[in-house]
Structure 1
Amino acid sequence: MNQYSKEAFINLLEDKLTRQRRKYLEDATDKDLYYVISSIVKDELIPKWLDTQERYQQNETKQVFYLSMEFLIGRLLETNLLNCGLLDTCKEALLELGRNPEEVFKNEHDAGLGNGGLGRLAACFLDSIASLSYAGHGSGIRYRYGLFEQRIIHGNQIELPDYWLKEEYPWETRKADEAVEVQFGGKVHLHKKQDGKFEASYEQTDKVMAVPYDVPVSGYQNNVVNTLRLWSAEISPETSDFLSGPNSQYYHHLDHTHSVEQISGFLYPDDSSFEGKELRLKQQYFLVSSTIQGIIKKFKTDYNLPLSSMAEKIVIQINDTHPSLAVPELMRLLMDEEEFEWDEAWEVTTNVIAYTNHTTLSEALEKWPVSMIQNLLPRIYMIIDEINERFCQGIWFDHEELREKIPELAIIADDQVHMARLAIVGSFSVNGVARIHTEILKKKEMKDFYTLFPSRFNNKTNGITHRRWLLQVNPCLSRAITDVIGPQWIKQPNKLISLLRYSNDKPFLEKIDRVKQKNKQALANLIHEKTGFTVDEESIFDVQIKRLHEYKRQLLNIFHVIYLYNELKDNPSLDLTPRTFIFAAKAAPSYHLAKEVIKLIHHVASIVNHDKSINDKLKVIFLENYNVSLAEKIIPAADISEQISTASKEASGTGNMKMMMNGAITLGTLDGANIEIKDLVGEDNIFIFGLNAEEVLNYYQNGNYVAKDIYHTDDRVKRILDQLNHGEFGAEEIEFKDIFYNILYHNDPYFVLKDFDPYIESHELVERAYRDKQTWQKMSVTNIAYSGKFSSDRTIREYASEIWKLN
């Protein structure tokens, strides 16, 4: 690890500026500096990258490949500087040159490779795998456009293209020599050979080239650099020659080019149409086929073993159901390309593939129409059909007690291919991502599969990389921690528990409070810059930042805001600690109700924020275009972490961990990792309210919840809903009738009204605790101290020892 002095770093920077950008320092823009510093860092990483790969190859090290449709990696310059030990030197050098480091760093566009918690988790996992010196790599798609760039116009979410690759991305390296071919459609013929084995031949297929772009994944100051491989869809040379030949049709050529480029064009194309669904399926197969072809090639090169021993050296971890086609694709490659017989191929496949489940939501457990897979992936459908047939026969003959359950267990049922079922049947490990989530899978959602395969099911509670989410985003807090317990926590996050010794140390508590105030001031400045609103830095910063979905219940949060506003209008002298409610969220483009909630938040904000009669006791802020970089500004400033999903719906959550690690207090339901946070910090250091998972599941099962009863008996609830229904928070009277009718006439499917009263009570407890400064500071330090348990280093050690069997 090179350790440059500030002067040496400046000299190197100036030298590269003249050679690479043809500019002297005084003429260089912040963008020039960003690219030059990235080049310096990449020069540091490449030799370590090559050494790491060579070491794995020479030692024949077992490796894990993490397949995910999302990798929400954010910006990489600061992370890579930190991991190379150059962050402080770089910042000092820039300040010496009269430049603001933050202005330089923000020239990097957030990589448009993910949407929410699933993708951010994958990014944290890659960081921990490298930092713990494990041999592990990510595999995803190089989307040219991210989810979308969110703009809010008159309260409405407007989606603009997120063309994050419009400028050079300095971290990627194109590896055209390692491209592979992926085939769609066409016809498949099975021929019986003389030796009795079957041989598959393909004709009239659409061939697509999958070209890898490799991004380095640096470990924290340990000389390990793993790889995030992103696949880009391009026209294969063979197809290109055919289409542009003398008899070609120019417009057909353009159509084909467009359809190929779409495969790696957009993250999560709109699947409300047949074409959108088909494109998503194409993306999923493109990811798994290109990745597994690459893995097999690598296995043959790196290991002096037959392919039948693949499980000794390779694990493929599929992140949620999106890459479930890895199961039939590995079978296809082993049988059709490597001449394995079925049983041998199945033995390899089911010992190589492991599956992480992230949800109990039925709409997120993917299903594809049989006809779509038959047409788009005919050979893959044949294999899925055979897997299903053998699996169902196995139940019929070996598990008489489950015979009647076969329709609920079959991979192909109701003219649909059920991807979660395929992933469970075709893997050796199925893990949930929080203790309660795994128990719900075992006892409710996947109970019969658990009966069949009890040893496959296990729990791996999610984690976050503390290097990004504490050391990097909150340097002042990190220094304060290091000053009292030393730097060991950076490599051993469980050492944060030593902070408990200082939870009654008044000077330390005051220091932590000053750090929080500084972070709140920085966020207040950002809010003013982005929205024009001035917020009270002494107010409680109450934060809910996550994807907009009904089960995450941003609606419950904004109902509480309306309730407080009504209270203040009735009694302007009400003794209320000033509150700043901070929201950030994107709604899926076709998710009407979620977009209505965004609009409601904005309409409430426009009334509350301009009402002088409430004396600035309430402010409502919605920060548009939520992404990793924005989260990095909000999280260090949060006082309250809103984790209020309907119990049983949030598999784990990771925002709860990030805010806890930065000293925010969790206000949440007994759901996901909230339960494990409560068990660690104790009931005095968290605010828990509302229905638990068992109560929610009982209501769903028994149907004995009536939302209208609460509407008719709770005046606060009735007033809020009537205000919505009568247009008090909208430009027109009909503005929010959809929300009104969904609550009362679709019976409040996520129990917003049922949990309203306990939610209000919990906020009263927040108010009381916040007024006692020393109590609040002690709660904050206690949360930081216990947050080491939620480092992704702990999660990855559990995966590595219990599932992957890595050294």
Structure 2
Amino acid sequence: MFSSVPEFKAAFVSKLEMAYGTTFEESTRREQFQTLGTMIREQVSTNWIKTNEMYRISGKKQVYYLSIEFLLGRLLRHNLINLGIEQIVSKGLGELGIELDKLEEFEADAGLGNGGLGRLAACFLDSLASLNLPGHGCGIRYKHGLFEQAIVDGYQVELPEQWLKHGHVWEVRKGDEAEEILFWGHVESSIENGRLVFRHVNPEIVTAVPYDMPVVGYHTKTVNTLRLWNAEPSKFTAHSDILKYKKDTEAICEFLYPDDTHDEGKILRLKQQYLLVSASLRAIIKSFKKKKRSIFELHEHTSIHINDTHPALAVPELMRILMDDEGLGWDEAWHLTVNTLSYTNHTTLSEALERWPERIFRPLLPRIYMIVEEINERFCRQLWDRHPGSWELIESMAILAHGEVRMAPLAIIGSHSINGVARLHTEILKEREMNNFYRVFPDRFNNKTNGITHRRWLMKANPKLAGLITDSIGPGWIKDTLQLEELLQFKESGAFLEEIGSIKQANKERLASRILEKTGIAVDPASIFDIQVKRLHAYKRQLLNVLHIMYLYNRIKEYPNYDMHPRTFIFGAKASPGYYFAKKVIKLINSVALKVNNDPVVNGRIKVVFLENYRVSLGEEIFPAADVSEQISTASKEASGTGNMKFMMNGALTVGTLDGANVEITELVGRENIFLFGLSAEEVLEFQRNGGYHAQEYYHYDRRIRTVVDQLINGFFPDTGNEFSEIYDSLLSYNDQYFVFRDFSSYAEIQEQVGKSYLDRAGWLKKSLVNIAKSGYFSSDRTIEEYAKDIWHTEPVIIK
């Protein structure tokens, strides 16, 4: 590794000129970025090789984290920080006339994820490597990601993400480690040597080619691997229509979450999920067998984790490999499968628990369907023995029912551990959503509250705040984030609080410049930056936020002298392409912005901004600049949330319901340092069990609600016609499923309290400091240590 600035400069210039056959002076910024990225990757290769070799000889348990998403963000500066050479490289580039910040912008955000699920997976990989734990990621190399979002006339427009347009400097193609994946065809059985064997006949074969990326730990020699699979045509397939076969094959890894409202999309999603699972498990078993261990020891040396239901096919696929390829009997294979696999549930929403039509699943994956059918039959028989005659119970827990294959029951039945991602979430799973399974497998359920990597979300995103913390309490917090609590000694230090305030103000000014550059909207950095950035979904209630903004606008119009501290409401969110309600909410936010931002009566007291194409690199600018963090999901619906943790770690104060990890945030910071409102989870669940909520009553008796809801359809927004009738109907005709009306008054009151609290600068900064100091618990290092100890039973391996 580079030990000095002159050494780095010489190596950089030499590498660039050799690679591109040009002088340094004539090189482009992109060539300079590619050169630097290649140098870093090559520098870590020695430790990458050593890590894999050390894992091979150590005998410690290997962890493989299967996830349909890995939302990595840019890796250039992150890797420099973890390698401990950021200052050397930054100074060296500066002496060559290059700004590292400008160079970093040539790296595209990897299009491998969408929201919190994928970002959590990325944080976990960082923590695994930084804690010297032998853990790797397995995902898919999407050519065009989810989509690149543009806002045109207030509407979301989806464009292909071109993140691979210039290649990806961090990946290494491993063509010799490709796996052949089988779809369609049929299964034949026969008796050979007294044993029943199965053959997959006339399949369509797809080649899964791995692309490996190094995952660099912080100030350690550990370099783990993220393996991404790409679907390519197989030379072993004879196809009557080779062009169609090539097109269908390449479509598998074209986009994340293809629209599955039609059969074609459902087939594509199932192909994605099986390709990820089958290729990963085949490679894992091959790696295991190279160590000359008995296959019966698989669960003692290997842990395979299913992140949400997307990789649930790992259950039948591992069974298939153990029985068909390794020759094990059912009971032996089942014992190994259950004790090797573990599963994280990420939702309480029944519609988010995947189900696939049997009429599609069965012909696409014929051997896998046979195994799923057998797992289901055996499990239902066990249930019948325990609860004879309980048809409804068995039906509710079956993997196969009503012509569907249910992935959550498959993952639960086939795993030795099922965990929720916040204490409240886990309790809801155990006591309500998955209570039947909890009663059958009480020892399998456990909680692992989510976390975030402070190395990206504080050290990288907010270096001035990270520097102030280190100067004040020393660098120990970087390895042990609970040491952030030492900041509480400065609660009464006016000078320290002002330093925090100055850093926040500088971050707000930076974001204001970005907003002006991207949207043309000038916002006041002295205003309250009130921010809601996350995936757009009805339960996350961006709608509650925007209806409240409409109420504030109406209040100012009615009382032009209404006194309120200026507030800038900032949104960022992508709506799934087929989720039309969510797309209507985006249009509404932008319509409100157009109305509010151009009304002279409002005079800057409210500004509304929708930042398009929300992603990790944009989040790194947003979180440090936030004063207020909007975490306003309907209680009981958000499993955990991780945006709440990122805002908290950067000193924003939470406006939120007692939902997900907000509950644990409240316990840590105290109710005086968070702004809570709305129904509790138990109250929401009670309404859902027994009814009693009538949206029409709130509409008729609360003039504020009636006014803003009528404005959706009465021409208040010019040239929108019936644009928002779907939103109007969701609130009134369909009885406001997410209790927006019920929580509206409480939300308006707490927002008024926020405005008053902000005027007490010292008090606000003290609350901000408490949030930063208590955020250490939400480090993904703590979460991963719990996974390693309680679920995976693996230990660190020190690379020497």
- Secondary structure of the residue that 1:98 maps to in structure 2? coil
Match of 2:255 in 1: 266
Paired residues for 1:89-488 under 5 Å: 89-195=88-194, 197-239=195-237, 242-243=238-239, 252-302=241-291, 304-400=292-388, 404-488=392-476
Deviation at 1:168, TM superposition (A): 1.5
Higher relative contact order (CA 8 A, sep 6+): 2
Is the contact made by 1:411 and 1:419 (CA closer than 8 Å) also made in structure 2?
yes
d(CA) in 2 for partners of 1:293, 1:599: 45
Match of 1:78 in 2: 77
* TM-score, with structure 2 as normaliser: 0.98
Match of 1:591 among 579, 582, 601: 579
Segments of 5+ residues of structure 2 without an aligned counterpart are 796-800
Letter in 2 for 1:11: A
Deviation at 1:193, TM superposition (A): 2.8
- Secondary structure of the residue that 1:268 maps to in structure 2? coil
d(CA) in 1 for partners of 2:746, 2:15: 60
- Secondary structure of the residue that 1:544 maps to in structure 2? strand
CA deviation vs aligned residue, 1:628-687 (integer Å, no higher than 9, x gap): 111111110000000000111100000000010000001100000000000000000000
Is it true that 1:631 corresponds to 2:619 in the alignment?
yes
Deviation at 1:58, TM superposition (A): 1.1
Deviation at 1:402, TM superposition (A): 5.4
Deviation at 1:730, TM superposition (A): 4.1
- Secondary structure of the residue that 1:574 maps to in structure 2? coil
d(CA) in 2 for partners of 1:679, 1:417: 40
d(CA) in 1 for partners of 2:414, 2:307: 14
Match of 1:676 in 2: 664
Match of 2:499 in 1: 511
Deviation at 1:764, TM superposition (A): 1.1
d(CA) in 2 for partners of 1:9, 1:201: 57
Match of 1:687 in 2: 675
Letter in 1 for 2:421: V
Segments of 5+ residues of structure 1 without an aligned counterpart are 244-248
d(CA) in 1 for partners of 2:359, 2:49: 45
Paired residues for 1:23-38 under 5 Å: 23-38=22-37
Is the contact made by 1:727 and 1:735 (CA closer than 8 Å) also made in structure 2?
no
Deviation at 1:3, TM superposition (A): 4.3
CA deviation vs aligned residue, 1:467-503 (integer Å, no higher than 9, x gap): 0000011000000001110001111111111111111
- Secondary structure of the residue that 1:368 maps to in structure 2? strand
CA deviation vs aligned residue, 1:412-447 (integer Å, no higher than 9, x gap): 111111100000000000000000000000000000
Match of 1:769 in 2: 757
Match of 2:51 in 1: 52
Match of 1:564 in 2: 552
d(CA) in 2 for partners of 1:41, 1:64: 25
d(CA) in 2 for partners of 1:802, 1:60: 19
Deviation at 1:95, TM superposition (A): 2.3
d(CA) in 2 for partners of 1:735, 1:181: 48
Is the contact made by 2:574 and 2:613 (CA closer than 8 Å) also made in structure 1?
yes
d(CA) in 1 for partners of 2:581, 2:186: 42
CA deviation vs aligned residue, 1:155-209 (integer Å, no higher than 9, x gap): 01111111211211111001111111110011101212342x2100121100111
Match of 2:798 in 1: none
Is the contact made by 2:631 and 2:654 (CA closer than 8 Å) also made in structure 1?
yes
Match of 2:628 in 1: 640
For structure 1, which segment, 544-553 or 258-267, has the greater mean C-alpha deviation from structure 2 after superposition? 258-267
d(CA) in 2 for partners of 1:117, 1:12: 38
Match of 1:549 among 537, 541, 557: 537
Deviation at 1:400, TM superposition (A): 4.3
d(CA) in 1 for partners of 2:218, 2:87: 14
- Secondary structure of the residue that 1:34 maps to in structure 2? helix
Letter in 1 for 2:82: N
CA deviation vs aligned residue, 1:274-331 (integer Å, no higher than 9, x gap): 00011101110111000000010000013x3210110000000000000000000000
d(CA) in 2 for partners of 1:158, 1:403: 47
For structure 1, which segment, 129-138 or 78-87, has the greater mean C-alpha deviation from structure 2 after superposition? 78-87
For structure 1, which segment, 732-741 or 448-457, has the greater mean C-alpha deviation from structure 2 after superposition? 732-741
Letter in 2 for 1:679: E
Is the contact made by 1:568 and 1:614 (CA closer than 8 Å) also made in structure 2?
yes
- Secondary structure of the residue that 2:544 maps to in structure 1? helix
d(CA) in 2 for partners of 1:129, 1:402: 44
Matched length: 795
Letter in 2 for 1:546: K
Deviation at 1:14, TM superposition (A): 1.0
- Secondary structure of the residue that 1:231 maps to in structure 2? strand
Pick closer, same or farther for the CA change 1:761–1:401 going to 2, 3 Å.
farther
d(CA) in 2 for partners of 1:342, 1:187: 21
Letter in 2 for 1:477: L
CA deviation vs aligned residue, 1:682-722 (integer Å, no higher than 9, x gap): 00000010001111111111121000100000010011011
Letter in 1 for 2:289: K
Letter in 2 for 1:670: L
Is the contact made by 1:603 and 1:730 (CA closer than 8 Å) also made in structure 2?
no
Is the contact made by 1:730 and 1:736 (CA closer than 8 Å) also made in structure 2?
no
Is the contact made by 2:154 and 2:591 (CA closer than 8 Å) also made in structure 1?
yes
- Secondary structure of the residue that 2:251 maps to in structure 1? helix
CA-based RMSD of the aligned residues comes to 1.1
Is the contact made by 1:600 and 1:729 (CA closer than 8 Å) also made in structure 2?
no
Is it true that 1:717 corresponds to 2:705 in the alignment?
yes
Match of 1:615 in 2: 603
Match of 1:246 in 2: none
Letter in 1 for 2:722: I
Pick closer, same or farther for the CA change 1:133–1:730 going to 2, 3 Å.
farther
d(CA) in 2 for partners of 1:43, 1:404: 59
Match of 2:483 in 1: 495
- Secondary structure of the residue that 1:753 maps to in structure 2? helix
d(CA) in 2 for partners of 1:702, 1:634: 41
Deviation at 1:262, TM superposition (A): 1.0
Letter in 2 for 1:417: V
- Secondary structure of the residue that 1:667 maps to in structure 2? strand
For structure 1, which segment, 568-577 or 618-627, has the greater mean C-alpha deviation from structure 2 after superposition? 568-577
Paired residues for 1:743-782 under 5 Å: 743-782=731-770
Is the contact made by 1:3 and 1:85 (CA closer than 8 Å) also made in structure 2?
no
Pick closer, same or farther for the CA change 1:730–1:455 going to 2, 3 Å.
farther
Letter in 2 for 1:501: Q
For structure 1, which segment, 606-615 or 509-518, has the greater mean C-alpha deviation from structure 2 after superposition? 606-615
d(CA) in 2 for partners of 1:28, 1:500: 49
d(CA) in 2 for partners of 1:113, 1:381: 28
d(CA) in 1 for partners of 2:20, 2:385: 71
Is the contact made by 2:2 and 2:8 (CA closer than 8 Å) also made in structure 1?
no
Is the contact made by 1:128 and 1:219 (CA closer than 8 Å) also made in structure 2?
yes
Match of 1:8 in 2: 7
- Secondary structure of the residue that 1:612 maps to in structure 2? coil
Is the contact made by 1:395 and 1:403 (CA closer than 8 Å) also made in structure 2?
no
Letter in 2 for 1:126: L
Deviation at 1:790, TM superposition (A): 0.1
Is the contact made by 1:667 and 1:687 (CA closer than 8 Å) also made in structure 2?
yes
Report percent identity of matched pairs. Answer: 54
